[in-house]
Structure 1
Amino acid sequence: MNWQTINDELQVEEIKQKSFEHPVLVFKHSTTCSISAASLSRIERAWDTDKAKNIEPFYLDLLRYRSISNKLAKDFDIEHQSPQVLLIQNGECTYDASHFDIRFDEIVSQLA
């Protein structure tokens, strides 16, 4: 996997715009949480480029950039969770999951 790091609130709009071209996945990671570390590891181990097609993955350090997490929650009308994945397609969050519900096969099944 080739995570792109989110470190600026302006990237939220960029993610939204990119999602009209291809699906975008955002992984919101709490760097001090063992559940978050396990969820991140599971998704990375399961990642299959062929199945993922053209999903562009983004990574957000929640503890360092909580304001960006809040902006994602507001802009995509989702409840904040940690850890959490968001699948953004056509400018909207079409799927989100948290904790051990974060599964690569489930994400892929939600592709439009």
Structure 2
Amino acid sequence: MDWREITTLEEWNDMLARSSEREQVILKHSTTCPVSANALQEYENYLKGSPNQGADYTLVKVIESRPVSNRIAEDLNVKHESPQMIVIKDKAKYWTASHWAVTKAHIAAVLD
């Protein structure tokens, strides 16, 4: 299973609306940070296994798509961190983890 990248506020609004029907999982990723590179690898390792099929998986690059990253923090009332994983249900934050807490095992424990 793959993730998709969102880069526009319209894509974010669509994703937030879809969270009423399916869990939405976002990884906020910094392309300049080694900790974030590790989190991205953990995310991809989770998706290569047997990920929860009832969720959609998304990536937001926090530097390249800063307006989207900022809006996510505002709309969900979540302090911006990077790397940061956020699970959204019913247009609200359900779970979040950041930095070294973004691991395949931690993701699986929450989603599976």
Is this a same-fold pair by TM over 0.5? yes
Deviation at 1:105, TM superposition (A): 3.7
Unaligned runs of 5+ in 2: none
The corresponding residue for 1:26 is 26
The TM-score, its normalising length taken from structure 2, stands at 0.89
2:75 maps to 1:86 = no
The TM-score, its normalising length taken from structure 1, stands at 0.89
The percent identity for this pair of structures is 27
Deviation at 1:22, TM superposition (A): 0.8
Q: Secondary structure at the match of 2:26?
A: strand
The 5 Å alignment of 1:92-103 reads 92-103=92-103
The corresponding residue for 2:11 is 11
Q: Secondary structure at the match of 2:11?
A: helix
Unaligned runs of 5+ in 1: none
Contact 2:2/2:47, CA 8 A, preserved across alignment: no
Shift in alpha-carbon separation, 1:51–1:2, aligned structure 2, 3 A: closer
RMSD of aligned Cα (Å) = 1.8
Aligned-partner Cα distance in 2 for 1:56–1:22: 7
Q: Which amino acid aligns with 2:38?
A: A
Aligned residues: 112
